[in-house]
């Protein structure tokens, strides 16, 4: 199933946050506060549209779990696509 617009917005913010976290090893790492504030704002505004599991991950600041959850949704539609189904020859 394709991601909703709310899920897509959230996934982009989580990707940006993860990139900033990965960059913390650099000599001049980016500030994480703007990313955290954006995620908190998105959680508050998008909460009614989000799956309860995703809301739980965001409320508990489990951003990795939220990211993993959203990416599993977006890739499961590809894995279950009838276009990608192949028959097994015997």
Q: What is the pLDDT of residues 58-89, one digit of tens each?
A: 999 999 999 999 999 888 654 444 444 444 44
How far is 17 from 43, CA to CA, in rounded Å?
A: 14
How far is 54 from 70, CA to CA, in rounded Å?
A: 8
Q: Kindly state whether residue 50 falls inside one of the protein's structural domains.
A: yes
Q: Is it the case that residue 2 has pLDDT exceeding 90?
A: no
* Structural domains counted in the chain: 1
pLDDT of residue 75: 81
Percent of the chain with pLDDT over 70: 82
Angle between helical axes of 52-59 and 5-22 (0-180°, round to 10): 30
Domain that holds residue 42: 5-75
Q: Kindly state whether residue 59 falls inside one of the protein's structural domains.
A: yes
Taking only the tens place, the pLDDT of each residue in 15-32 is: 999 999 999 999 999 999
pLDDT of residue 76: 66
Closest-CA residue to 2 (of 57, 76, 67, 64): 76
Q: Kindly state whether residue 87 falls inside one of the protein's structural domains.
A: no
Q: Kindly state whether residue 89 falls inside one of the protein's structural domains.
A: no
pLDDT band at residue 52 using 50, 70 and 90 as cut-offs: very high
């Amino acid at each position: 199933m394709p991601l909703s617009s709310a899920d897509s917005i959230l996934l982009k913010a989580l990707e940006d946050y993860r990139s900033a976290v990965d960059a913390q090893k650099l000599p001049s790492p980016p500030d994480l506060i703007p990313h955290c504030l954006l995620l908190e704002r998105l959680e508050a505004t998008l909460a009614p549209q989000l799956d309860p599991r995703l809301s739980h991950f965001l409320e508990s600041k489990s951003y990795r779990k939220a990211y993993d959850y959203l990416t599993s949704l977006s890739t499961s539609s590809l894995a279950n696509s009838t276009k990608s189904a192949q028959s097994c020859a015997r």
